[in-house]
Structure 1
Amino acid sequence: MLGKRALLCVSAALVPQAALAADDIQSGLDEIVVTAQKREQNLNDVPISISVVGSAAIEAARAQDLRDISRLVSNFSVQRQGGLDTVFIRGIGGGGRNIGMSGRAGVYVDGVYAGQFASINQDTLSVDRIEVLRGPQGQLFGRNTVSGAVNIVTQKPGDAFSGHVEAGYGNMDLFEISGALNLPLADGVAVRIAGAHRERDGFVRNDVTGTDIDNVNRDSLRGQLHARLGDRLTFDLAADYSRDKANKLLGEPLNDVFGLNPPSLGTDYDVSFNDDPFQDIRVGGVSGTFTHELSDSAELVSISGYRETRWKRRNDLDYIPLDLFVFDFSDRFSQFSQEVRVSFGKGGPLSGVAGVYYFDETAKTHRGVTAGSQVEILPYGFVPGDQAWVKAEIHSQSIAGFASVDWAAAERLTVNLGARYTHERRKLVDYSSLGQAVINVATIPGYSDKRSSDSLDPTIGITYAVSDQANLYAKYARGFKTGGWNIDFISPQVFTDALRFGDETVNAFEAGVKGESADKRVRYALAGFYAIYDDYQIDQFVDLGGGQVSIQLRNAAKVSSWGAEASVEAAPVTGLLLNAGLGYANASFDRFRNGGGPGIDLDGNRAPYAPRLTATAGARYEVPADFVGGTLGFGLNWNYRSKSYRGPENTADQLIDARHLVDARIELAGQDRRWSVALWGRNLFNDRYVDNRIFDFFATQAVEYGEPRTYGVSARIGL
């Protein structure tokens, strides 16, 4: 506590109390324009609980990816689940550990769905802003957005030549370099290219191999072309690629695997595996967007997108130095989407958007477990080279029509109406698996199935302008999440009785207020919500006793989520920006019969990875630095999450710790920000916390700790 107080006092002492503002120091809050309803609107006019993180905040917080962004937004997190990243909004999220189940919150890059779990943790390279939309967004964003959506808007090419190069170094041999170049090619034609490389040693050591685990090794590239093809027609071509290749830790073991009493179960940030874990994620895509101004009040937009994701993972399944079992997982997703929409009525009594959407995805998986050279010491009859594997392919096609209309029914009253009708077909092709009865894995020579879903998802709301600066709103929204199949290592009983699972639906209610002060120095938002999820899909490891574990994916529960979130931004004096957010979400099972095994109901238990309380706060202060003709800036961010549980059983061995994380940054910038040097630190007080817990097929319990304190320096030069 003394160290925290000392640091805060030193930071305060470094800030001049009376300084003249430089021309480039911000003196108020900028207007925020969002595309949350697929047309440009002022943030305060959109009847949705939205948090927006702009490029300046992304840079100040050193937010490298979407997981880092979650430290800046309340009631929002990107949670690791056994090596997978999943978005949670208002305590609801998650997805399957296989291709048969997708997540509950959609991530979109410039209007194109980013894909399933492996492509969730998007890089923030060359990003203009990130909009976090809370609550069901099925009306405009489609299926699998029953908890919310994340809308990533990238920086577009401009008409002037510009660019920058930035490099940094930090502890644990962190090295990073990034850059961007904006190049006008002709009148109305420009390109923007950005790239980044980041590497860092791991903070976990494998005592057997000497390898650093949980290291960072990521490359990202983004390119865009913008062309004005006429007075009212523009074309945008965008492409991106990233590769994340690292020794990603699944967890540090807490129990004696197979009862063998290994010589070391590992200590904090220390493991003893005979085989290093490995993960390789390749994500890429290309999109083309035509925008045609039909008139001064109408616009036609066409977005065509193709994306592909490849995910590979290898891990020591026994978590000990012996060569017993190793798993190799490999998934591949390819998708094409086409959206055509018209927005109309800008500034008129009737405005909105309407369109059609088509989506086609092919997902393939091949996952295997192989017995190692020492497996014969186990009393189960295995021999080296024994295998269990599962492979399958799923084709998904979806077509939808949608519309959203705002009707100015009275001088200050607006009625919001919308709906989306979706027809989806899914086909399971050649699902096969091989296993051994002793570990209770079904052997399936080949199985095919198909299913279809139709859903009408309406929304209705009202917005009342209390004044020119404040709006009250209330809304109802419905959404659905498509069903599928449990494509995993499953028991014969699961294959017979519960391979299929059905659609999930949500009915949600929200009311709130948004506004700003007359001098535009304070912006605020408050929202309350209540959502009911029927036929809630859940994926869990169920301990059947006797060393037997069943992987179950089923419609087994009714879940409700209720709570509120509040946020405020303020610019009380020139150069000072303050922000704070508070979120409360009570997400729990209203009904979950036999959820913990036969005869064990989980009614009333909390949903997985659902902290009740989340909070954020930040401050940025800039003052003139006359000795360089620029500015000196100070930034501080704080993030809090209360405890949660990994699984629906809510047992002590599923507890995920509460955490307080503090990040800070000091930056010296030259005139017009032509250059800058920054000193930064993350998790300054080295808070040690459990970030995730693992329970796997062999009943192994493992824990993944959050990253310890990191710090470094970076320098940027403008072109």
Structure 2
Amino acid sequence: MTITISTRALAARCACMMVGFACFGMPAAIAHAAASDSNPGSIEEITVNAQKRDARLTDTPVAVSVVGESWIARSNLTALEDLADVVPNLTIFSDFLYNSTVTMRGVGSYSRNVGFDERVGLYLDGIYLGPSYAINQNLLDIAQVEVLRGPQGTFFGRNAIAGAINLKSQRPGDELVVKGRARLGTHDALTLQGLVAVPVDDVWAISLSAGLQKRDGQVENTLTGHGLGGEDRKALRAQVRFSPNDRFEAFLSLDRNELDERALIGDPLSDAFGATPDSFAPAYGEVAFNTDPAQSLTAQGAGLDLRWTFASGTSLQSLTGLRETKAAMRNDTDYSPVDLFLVDYAEDYDHLSQEIRFASATGERLTYVLGVTYLDIRGATDRHGVAGAEGYLVGMAESADVTNTGRVDTTAWGLFANADYAVSSQLSVSAGVRWSRDKKRLDWMIDTTGAPAFALATGQLQQSRVDEDISPTVSLSYALDDGVTAFVRYAEGYKSGGYNLDYVSAAVFPNGVEFGKESARSYEAGVKGVAFDGEVWFSLAAFWVDYSDFQVNQFRDLGQGQTALVIANAASVRTRGLEAELRIQPLPGLDVRLWGAMLDARYREFTDGGVGGSDVSGNRMDAPRFEAGFAADYMRPVSGRMDVFVHVSFSHADGYYVTPDNIKAQPLLAGGTVPYGYLGARDMLSAKLGLSHGDGWRLALYGENLLDDRSVSSSLRDFFGTISEVRREGRAFGVELTVDFR
């Protein structure tokens, strides 16, 4: 009898076995750590700011994953979206700009329009970055990324009902730092990143970082000859540090990110109306569009961080942010060579954020943090749908324009407080609460008179709404010893209500445009710390989160080829699962990381969320049920100051549904089906092999997606009923040169 196992399946099973071994072996590790007389801490201590003050990761009663500077440098991580391959229960979708999505534990959202907020807050050095377009971030000058899973309502407020991501930059200080990375790879991929930090004198220090990413698109538009789905991204950040004495410190940062690309929104599997299979360019990798889809983004901002430390040990911090985001997209919405219909969208965001917090001295039995936050956002939308020469096929005259324009102004206030009390040398309790008030003012107009067959709304709407919320957090921590802590945590969070400022059906205008806030209650327990005399660091967490009045944003299939754009408080949701992370340094020069997650995320109640208003209660949400992965770094001296190093990483994620109907195929109006609604399992293997010199340079060969995983990364049904998909880029190789002088 012959047994055949594919390389991909074998790698997935190995990762699962290693994570499982790590989890089952943990009690022994804890016992060993507790019995040890010394803990040299060969794995460096990690400090996080998850509760608005610096604390050891081990002592922080929150499920936090940390990706540090050394991991970024040794791996193939270059941009924020790469973190989805190394952090459990984190999914980042960035195939095209207007669907940029960050999801944690099965819950997330994207900035579909200016009236709909995200569920995962993105922060740079504690300052809010804005809508989900902000995931276009260069990682070269990032010292640490903190991924906080679960509702973070007390400390982060309205936009963190599923979690928060805080990027901490490498700030200029007393040390001269010069870093750079250059990569050349297949598909004409080019990455250039650089950082220079200079201490001017004892008071001033400055830094400048820049990044460039380019790659050719691999899907050809046969009508224009252009490749779609490539990259053309630029990033720039400058920082100034002013520290006249040990009582005051100020950081000023300026940054700008640009993106200008021919986008791949979808390779069609059906014709424009979902009636028959695509006949113009049926093979994947080729499309036949009379217009190239395109996307552009300019995001820039300034941040000012002021810190005072008083003689008593108390501290005062002020964080001020000014940001501007301009995003645009153009798409051939009929996905065909027929000059039928084109959409041209533009969204502008401007916001001011201010946070002031006062913290007590550390080391006391009772410590606390008090804070106030303010956020003022101006979101403007200008959307057009324009008929082409064959617009008569959908009942429109050539050049007829359906418009959707307006703005939403949001003012959000928050007051929060948190106290930690050491009941004993081992037991501590933490309690916090935030009061929030959000006011949104709407001035919006939609005019679809040029497309009477679409049955869309026409009219103007001016109104306002207010949401108030109180989000508490309570946790208990118990130190099993100096290096291991167990915790339980209860937390609440909310997402403010808003408006569906899209091309909505006339049947829901005006009363069906507004939707209310959603709320979450989270229960979490975990244990984390160091073991085996500091050679092992581990984290285990179990969670259960209930969401009520869940805001669902979907292209709802009404049947008979009809599609409606819907945002409504249509469901209650439950997510629950387990997460595990492990880091081992078993031998000199060897560093191994393992992670895994199990997730059950379902619509508990969604009575009219499916095709034709069917009941989809109990169906799964769009997130993998199981994920696992590992990364290994090994370095060995070969001569003098020269070392050879190797990096290998692998991640596996189960397949999952992307619609509430939980379907894998879409019936076509003329008969038959095409794949739709399911993303298959993902298995990503990457490696790097090279030489490292003691003078600060490294030269390496790298490979990405070595298993050549071409699974579907996006499955879409667009307005006319077109079914399309996007697949992952294939195997890629390249050479990398990095320098790090300090």
- Band the TM-score falls in, shorter-chain normalisation: over 0.9
Which residue of the other structure, out of 375, 381, 388, is the alignment partner of 2:395? Answer: 381
Q: CA–CA distance in 1 between the matches of 2:380 and 2:160?
A: 22
Q: Secondary structure at the match of 2:593?
A: strand
Which 10-residue stretch deviates more, 629-638 or 481-490?
A: 629-638
Matches within 5 A, 1:190-339: 190-258=205-273, 259=275, 263-295=279-311, 297-339=313-355
1:5 Cα deviation after fit: 12
Question: Amino acid of the residue matched to residue 676 of structure 1?
Answer: R
Q: Tell me the distance in 1 between the aligned counterparts of 2:204 and 2:370.
A: 29
Aligned to 2:678: 655
| 1:22-80 deviation digits (Å, cap 9, x = unpaired) | xxxx9931111111111111110000011000111112222222210111111111124
Residues 1:233 and 1:325: Cα distance change in structure 2 (over 3 Å): same
Shift of 1:335: 0.5
1:151-550 matched pairs, under 5 angstroms: 151-258=166-273, 259=275, 263-295=279-311, 297-376=313-392, 378=393, 380-435=394-449, 436-444=451-459, 446-550=460-564
The residue number in structure 2 matching 1:18 is: none
Contact 1:106 1:145 survives alignment (8 Å): yes
2:717 matches 1:695: yes
Between 455-464 and 431-440, report the one with greater CA deviation.
431-440
Q: In the TM superposition, what is the alpha-carbon distance from 1:231 to its structure 2 partner?
A: 2.8
SS in 2 for 1:229: strand
2:680 is the counterpart of 1:664: no
Q: Report if aligned partners of 1:85, 1:121 keep a CA contact under 8 Å in 2.
A: no
* Shift of residue 216, structure 1, vs aligned partner: 0.8
Assess, with a 3 A threshold, how the Cα gap between structure 1 residues 534 and 561 changes in structure 2: closer, same or farther: same
Secondary structure of the 1:267 match is: coil
2:364 is paired with a residue of what secondary structure? coil
Post-superposition CA distance 1:152-188 (Å, at most 9, x none): 1000102132313332211111122221111121212
| Alpha-carbon offset, residue 546 of structure 1 | 3.3
Shift in Å at residue 640 of structure 1?
1.1
Paired residue type of 1:648: P
C-alpha deviation, 1:566, in angstroms = 0.7
Q: Is the contact made by 1:27 and 1:571 (CA closer than 8 Å) also made in structure 2?
A: no
1:105 paired with 2:105, answer no
Closer, same or farther: CA 7–601 of 1 in aligned 2, 3 Å? closer
State the 1:604 CA deviation.
0.2
- 1:328-374 Cα shifts (integer Å, max 9, x gaps): 11001110011110121311111131111110000001111111123
Which deviates the most, 71-80 or 156-165? 156-165
Instruction: Give the fraction of aligned pairs with identical amino acids, expressed as a percent.
Output: 33
Query: Unpaired runs of 5+ in structure 1?
Result: 9-25
Query: Following TM superposition, by how much is the alpha carbon of 1:599 offset from its aligned partner in structure 2, in angstroms?
Result: 4.9
For 2:715 and 2:55, locate their aligned partners in 1 and report how far apart those are by CA, in whole Å.
41
Distance 1:102 1:321 in 2: 35
Q: Is the 8 A contact 1:135 1:508 kept in 2?
A: yes
Aligned partners of 2:724 and 2:418: how far apart in 1?
A: 47
1:504 Cα deviation (Å)?
0.2
**1:14 paired residue number:** none
The alignment's TM-score, normalised by the length of structure 1, stands at 0.94
- The question of whether the paired residues in 1 share the 8 Å contact of 2:137 and 2:235 is answered with no
Task: Quote the Cα distance in structure 2 between the aligned partners of 1:241 and 1:498.
Answer: 37
Kept in 2, the 8 Å contact 1:222–1:240? The answer is yes
Cα distance in 2 for partners of 1:352, 1:239 equals 31
Distance between the aligned counterparts of 1:62 and 1:336, measured in 2?
Answer: 34
SS at match of 2:137: coil
Structure 1 contact 549–698 (Cα < 8 Å) conserved? yes
Provide Cα deviations, 1:634-690, integer angstroms capped at 9, x if missing partner. 1011111111111111111201111110011113111142x2111111101101100
Any residues of structure 2 matched to 1:491-640 within 5 Å, and which? 491-597=505-611, 599-607=613-621, 609-626=622-639, 629-640=641-652
Q: Is the 8 A contact 2:76 2:686 kept in 1?
A: no
2-structure distance, mates of 1:354, 1:464:
24
> Structure 1 runs of 4+ off > 6 angstroms?
1-8
CA distance in 2 between partners of 1:702 and 1:712 (Å): 30
- Using the alignment, how far apart are the partners of 1:80 and 1:699 within structure 2? 22
> Which shifted more, 53-62 or 507-516?
53-62
Distance 1:173 1:82, change over 3 A: closer
Is residue 255–residue 265 contact of structure 1 (8 Å, CA) maintained in 2?
no
CA contact (8 A) 2:111 2:131 kept: no
**How many residues align structurally?**
696
Q: Residue 644 of structure 2 aligns to which amino acid in structure 1?
A: L
Unaligned runs of 5+ in 2: 13-39, 665-675
- Between the aligned partners of 2:155 and 2:278, the Cα distance in structure 1 is 53
Q: Match for residue 58 of structure 2?
A: 44
**Residue 56 of structure 1 aligns to a residue in which SS?**
helix
Given the two structures, how large is their TM-score scaled by the length of structure 2?
0.91
CA 1:262–1:149 in 2, change beyond 3 Å: closer, same or farther?
Answer: closer
Letter in structure 2 aligned against 1:118: Y
User: Which is further off, 43-52 or 545-554?
Assistant: 545-554
Q: Deviations over 1:270-314 (max 9, x none)?
A: 211111110101111111111110135311111111111110011
Find the counterpart in structure 2 of residue 17 from structure 1. Answer: none
Shift of 1:597: 4.8
